[in-house]
Amino acid sequence: MVDSNHKGEVVFENVTRAVQTKKTETIILDHCSFVIESGKLTVLIGPSGCGKTTIINLIAGYEKPDRGKVLIDGKPVAGPDRERLVAFQETALFPWLTCYDNVMFGPLATKVMTREEAHEQAINLLEKVGLGDFLYKYPMQLSGGMMRRAELARALINRPTVMLMDEPFRGLDAMTRELMQEYYLRLVEESHGTHLFVTSEIEEAIFLADRLIIMTNKPSRVKHALDIDLPRPRIASVLRSKRYLELKALTLEILHEEAVKASMASGKADIAIDSGLRT
């Protein structure tokens, strides 16, 4: 299963993570184990608040597991590193830097390449994501979709071994989102890196994934893992194929159950949106 040529295999071994609030301790991950295979696009999906962002933070090294191990190519995660880069929810472009300066930030901070090299690559990459005309705009001048693309470029210029996508298209309108997914897939299919993509949209998950990991509600574990065998390169018409609909039905079935559970748990009173009506 593990291709020794590829790097960036992420292993979660019995990871437990709890967060202390003022009053209580909430267990977010509970003995969670799974593998993110190198060179593949793994999508993590689950109800909101199930600890998906925590998983991203653990791999990126922003948080440490309370118990268990997070291993990258066999070594435990020591801290944030440019080998593992995150594209954040909503985007975390530095608002005081222009689009171009944002992309140049990584190479200049670490000095792995010369300014000229970095410049060339930055221009290249920004052209590729369709921001060639917006190099010297500040993030606030860009549309939502453009910001997400700039963020992608900012991460990809550093050639990370593992790319972590934390619901990167959240908050975009559905149509822009679909176009962003196509953009993103093109980049992934060219680069063949290891990608972890976290989302709560089923459509998006199945459309993008090589492998789909479905999480349970808090405290979360892996509920199910699916290999998505839709052909690549994927285009929008995949969404009409028989196989896609089968996979969607299966995923919906699993997730619907979790979503009902989550909605019962998240309201402080025990509400059941479903059952209340049918009586």
Q: Show contacts with another protein in window 136-195 (CB under 8 A).
A: 138-146, 158, 170-171, 173-176, 178-179
Subset of 206-235 contacting another protein (CB under 8 A): none
Instruction: Identify the H or E element spanning 126.
Output: helix 115-128
Considering only residues 76, 80, 132, 233, which one is a binding residue for another protein as defined by CB under 8 A?
80
Considering only residues 2, 3, 14, 95, which one is a binding residue for another protein as defined by CB under 8 A?
95
How far apart (Å, rounded) are the C-alpha atoms in residues 243 and 228?
A: 9
- Smallest gap from Cβ 66 to another protein, in A, equals 13
Angle between helices 115-128 and 144-156 in degrees, nearest 10: 140
Structure tokens at 39: 């060179």
Q: Provide the residue type at 270 as one letter.
A: D
Considering only residues 6, 13, 16, 19, which one is a binding residue for another protein as defined by CB under 8 A?
19
Structure tokens at 133: 């005309």
For residue 197, the tally of other CB atoms under 10 A from its CB is 26
Residue closer to another protein by CB (options 178, 210) is 178
Q: Are 258 and 251 in contact (CB under 8 A)?
A: no
Instruction: Identify the H or E element spanning 165.
Output: strand 162-166
Environment class of 204 (CB within 10 Å of its CB; exposed 0-12, middle 13-18, buried 19+): buried
Q: Does 92 bind another protein (CB under 8 A)?
A: yes
| Cα dihedral: 194, 200, 204, 205 (round 10) | 50
Considering only residues 14, 114, 124, 275, which one is a binding residue for another protein as defined by CB under 8 A?
275
Q: Does 29 bind another protein (CB under 8 A)?
A: no
Q: Does 74 bind another protein (CB under 8 A)?
A: no
Subset of 101-140 contacting another protein (CB under 8 A): 105-106, 109-110, 130, 134, 138-140
Q: Are 10 and 75 in contact (CB under 8 A)?
A: no
Residue closer to another protein by CB (options 229, 270) is 270
Q: Looking at residue 30, what DSSP letter applies? A: E
Q: Does 277 bind another protein (CB under 8 A)?
A: yes
How far apart (Å, rounded) are the C-alpha atoms in residues 132 and 124?
A: 8
Q: Provide the residue type at 4 as one letter.
A: S
Considering only residues 94, 114, 127, 136, which one is a binding residue for another protein as defined by CB under 8 A?
94
Residue closer to another protein by CB (options 1, 277) is 277
DSSP 48-64: TTSSHHHHHHHHHTSS-
Q: Does 245 bind another protein (CB under 8 A)?
A: yes
The size of the interface with another protein (CB under 8 A), counted in residues, is 83
Q: Does 78 bind another protein (CB under 8 A)?
A: no
Q: Does 68 bind another protein (CB under 8 A)?
A: no
Of the candidate spans 5-13, 29-37, 221-229, 268-276, the one that interacts with another protein by CB under 8 A turns out to be 268-276
Residue closer to another protein by CB (options 68, 144) is 144
Residue closer to another protein by CB (options 2, 174) is 174
